[in-house]
Structure 1
Amino acid sequence: MTTGAQAGDAPPFGPGVANITIEDARRDRPLGGDIWYPTATPDQYAIADKSKVWKMAPADQDGVPADGVFPLVVVSHGMYGNTLNQAWLGSALARRGFVVAMVNHPGSSTFLRDPDQTRQLWDRPIDLSRLISFLTEESVYKDRIDRERIYAAGHSLGGFTVMLLAGAEFEPGRYERVCASEDLPVACQVLTGWSIAKTDGDRIEMATSRRDPRLAKVISLDLGGTPVLSRDSLGAIDIPVLVLGSGRADMLDQEAESRALAAALPGDKVRHVELDDAGHFDFMGVCKPEGFAILEEHEPGDEIVCIKGNAERMEQHRRILSEILAFLKT
């Protein structure tokens, strides 16, 4: 058990966490994940040591929730990611008075890779709407959530997902044009590899708006997928959007992704910050000092996620968290 807040940081709450299972009519697509919430014991939390590669986020497992009503942030992980990827953010926001919930998206998460579910990419924003409905209407947390302050944040493919939730729309014609070029954006390589929008039915489903009017603000964390989004739909988004990009551009072309997204959004609704020397994986958890070498030996190619992944990443997390808190509290 750890006692005392982190050096130089004394948030008012502790970071409680619990597992959640979404119980609704979608029996074909079960959802499970984690919910982070404020506790009244800021000095009480544990840090598990479950990984040889990753540092675990501070967590009071099943801790007693603090009294009060708090904003809700739903978080969407990236391609083949999981709820642990942004656990650091869930823990940090819970300590500062937010409820944070995240699910593993079937088809595009670490251990759920059924190709039919992967192809049904339109279900990712629906997952988040289901999560919001369950938490605000059915769950034991419903009386602790401020329904006027519901936000969404997503990393990489999760950024694409939350933009769809905000009102962005997939444009089949644009997708076909952009992804027919010789110099394919990363998003095209992924989407075509997943056979996205190959049939008439799938094109209709992908192009259908998945906007959730309950959403008050949205945060894009180095998203991938801007090239296939309708510019008209982006220009019509009527809620504030924080666009965070990675200045190191080690995975995604910022000109085609975060910069293009910010340019297409209404000027009075967008804040775009390109974090100097941040990489795509700096929005994920902190690696242990030995994490890079372990992945290099046992999972060659995956070690990229731990480049500058320790002390440098902790500094990036401070900057990311600062930007998010300023945006959500404005």
Structure 2
Amino acid sequence: MVAGCNVGFTEGVFADAVRPHWSGGGARPIRWSAWYPTDDAVWEAATMQAADAAGDSVLAPTFRPLPLCRDARLAGRAGALPLVLLSHGTGGTVAGLGWLAHRLAARGLVVAGVDHHGNTAREAYRPEGFLCWWERAGDLTRLADHLLADPRFAGGIDAARLHVAGFSLGGHAALALLGGITEMPRFLGWAAGRPFGRGPREFPDLADRIVPLLAESPAFRASWQRQSLCFRDPRICSALVMAPAPTVRGFTPESLEAIGVPVLLTVGGADREAPGEAGAGWLHGLIPASRLVPLGADVGHYVFLGECTPEACRAEPAICIDAPGIDRAAIHARVAALALDLFAPSGS
């Protein structure tokens, strides 16, 4: 028997028939993972081991596995539970935010996120996925629809208490769900001459890919034409935006000023990938119901990823090792407490 685990985990994939695969062949895949409270108390050791093994493959080898019960039943509660939608950073996976998902699920929330097509380590990177940020918001809306209809969750999720949390580029998705409108020329003009103006490390020539893709890819061309649509999901009640990427400078100020739900912004003072003045601080000056929580002068960008295995610390020190004196687990606990207060305040 295995005791002490009250968090279930499941995953799946479905097709969004409205949008194409970046290759142009077939529909856009929505690959998702979900963490949730469970009352299942009887399990074999093999079940727990399978969940831990998922941390080495499905959930990502970089991060320390957390105790999970794979495909357990959603806990029976007096009333439906809030749902928090997650969006990962550039080129990452939703597993990188498993530390937040696990903590929230252990406190009675359902948490689910998408590995965004073309922009996730779960599949081959594609420049289209790194350019068309607005498609991420659609992924999260489709996921919410899917879970609300899924027999495993139907009736257990409160459709009136949907929230969103995003890290780095995921912060762009979170704000798009609140009504942020993207204008790519606005971002390209602002980013010109800045270190991140050309593209991320996965595609350092990303800006040069736009014109060829417009000429060659119908899927990219169709998405590019959608960039300034409103992807607001009126069901979203609040947002946690962690170290928002500089891409947020592509939002129109008017659309940000119109956001009327609570937004919690948090960033470290040593963040070089998403400096506070370029993202979180700028957003705080425009979003009326926003709160900015700095995390300390020596806190970097990747503190918002999970705690790494020793092997990953050796292989990927840039994303796994923080500055001296920075306790990643302590910061995770602090941010999770802020998130819990935002998404499920006492008495709600």
CA distance in structure 2 between the aligned counterparts of 1:271 and 1:134, rounded to whole angstroms: 31
Aligned to 1:10: none
Partner of 1:37: 36
SS in 2 for 1:178: helix
Q: TM-score, normalised by structure 2?
A: 0.81
Matched residues in 1 for 2:198 and 2:294: separation? 23
Does residue 254 of structure 1 match 2:276?
A: yes
- Give the counterpart letter for 1:275 in structure 2: L
Of 220-229 and 22-31, the range deviating more from structure 2 = 22-31
Structure-1 separation of matches of 2:189 and 2:29: 34
TM-score (norm 1): 0.85
Number of residue-to-residue matches in the alignment? 311
Q: Which moved more, 1:149-158 or 1:305-314?
A: 305-314
- Give, in angstroms, the shift of residue 84 of structure 1: 1.2
Query: Cα 1:201–1:169, aligned 2, differ >3 Å: closer, same or farther?
Result: same
Residue pair 2:134, 2:182 contacting (<8 A) in 1 also: no
Structure 1 counterpart of 2:253, from 226, 231, 234: 231
Q: Which residue of 1 aligns with 2:126?
A: 114
Q: Is the partner of 2:285 in helix, strand or coil? A: helix
Contiguous gaps of at least 5 residues in structure 2: 19-25, 215-220
Aligned to 2:94, what secondary structure does the other structure show? coil
What's the counterpart of residue 218 of structure 2?
none
Residue of structure 1 in register with 2:331 after alignment = 316
Question: What secondary structure does 1:164 align onto?
Answer: helix
How much does 1:230 deviate? Answer: 0.9
CA distance in 1, matches of 2:71, 2:110: 14
Secondary structure of the 1:31 match is strand
Is contact 1:129–1:212 with CA below 8 Å preserved after alignment?
A: yes
| Aligned with 1:18 (options 7, 10, 14) | 10
- Structure 2 equivalent of residue 67 of structure 1: 76
* Pairing partner for 1:209 from 211, 227, 230: 230
Deviation at 1:324, TM superposition (A): 0.8
The CA distance in 1 between the partners of 2:274 and 2:41, in whole Å, is 37
Report 1:157-196 matches (<5 A). Answer: 157-180=169-192, 182-184=193-195, 186=196, 189-190=199-200, 193=206
CA contact (8 A) 2:198 2:207 kept: no
Q: In structure 1, which of residues 302, 305, 311 is the aligned counterpart of residue 319 of structure 2? A: 305
Percent identity of the aligned residues? 28
Structure 1: distance between partners of 2:284 and 2:209: 25
Q: SS in structure 2 opposite 1:86? A: helix
2:295 is aligned to 275
CA distances 1:48-102 after superposition (whole Å, capped 9, x unpaired) = 2554642112211112221131100010111111121111211111110100111
Write the letter of the residue equivalent to 2:13.
T
CA distance 1:4–1:292, change in 2 (3 Å): same
